[in-house]
Chain A
Amino acid sequence: MPTLGAIAKSMKGRFPIRRTVKYLSRGDVVFKDSVKVMTVNYNTCGPLGEGARKFVFFNVPQIQYKNPWVQIMLFKNMTPSPFLRFYLDSGEQVLVDVESKSNTEIMAHVRKILGKNKDTLRREEQEKQQLSHPAHFGPRKYCLRECICEVEGQVPCPGLVPLPKEMTGKYQASLRADTQD
Chain B
Amino acid sequence: MLRALSRLGTRPTCGPPAPTLLPARGRKTRHDPVAKSKVGRVATPPPVDPAEFYVVTERYRQYRQIVGALRLQFVNEVRSKVRESRVGVLAERKAQEDANEHRELMAWNRAENQRLHQLRIARLQQEAREQEQRQAEEQARRAREAEAWVQLKEQEVLQLQEDSKNFITRENLEAKVEEALDSPKSYNWAITKEGLVVKPQHKGS
| A residues adjacent to B (C-beta < 8 A) | 81, 94-97, 99-101, 109, 112-114
24 A-B pairs whose Cβ atoms sit less than 8 Å apart in the complex: A81-B120, A94-B106, A94-B109, A95-B109, A95-B113, A96-B109, A96-B112, A96-B113, A97-B112, A97-B113, A97-B117, A99-B116, A99-B120, A100-B116, A100-B119, A101-B116, A109-B109, A112-B105, A112-B108, A113-B105, A113-B106, A113-B108, A113-B109, A114-B105
- Interface hub of A95, A100, A113 (most chain B Cβ within 10 A): A113
Interface extent on B, as a size class?
Answer: 10 to 19
User: How would you classify the secondary structure of chain B's contact residues: helix, strand, loop or mixed?
Assistant: helix
A109 to B111, CA, bound (A): 12
- Looking at chain A's contact residues, is the secondary structure mostly helix, strand, loop, or mixed? mixed
Q: 0/1 per residue, B111-135, Cβ < 8 Å to A?
A: 0110011011000000000000000
Distance in angstroms between the alpha carbons of A110 and B120 in the assembled complex: 21
Residue of A nearest to B108 (CB): A113
What CA separation (Å) do A100 and B116 show in the bound complex? 9
Report the minimal beta-carbon distance from B120 to chain A, rounded to whole angstroms: 6
Docked complex Cα distance between A144 and B156 (Å)? 103
Q: From A110, which residue of chain B is reached at the shortest CB distance?
A: B109
A124 to B: closest C-beta gap in Å = 13
Name B120's closest neighbour in chain A (CB-CB): A99
- With A81-B120, A113-B108, A114-B105 known, 9 other A-B pairs at CB within 8 A are A94-B109, A95-B113, A96-B112, A97-B112, A97-B117, A112-B105, A113-B105, A113-B106, A113-B109
Q: Which residues of B contact A113 (CB under 8 A)?
A: 105-106, 108-109
Shortest Cβ distance from residue B86 to the other chain A in the assembled complex, whole angstroms: 13
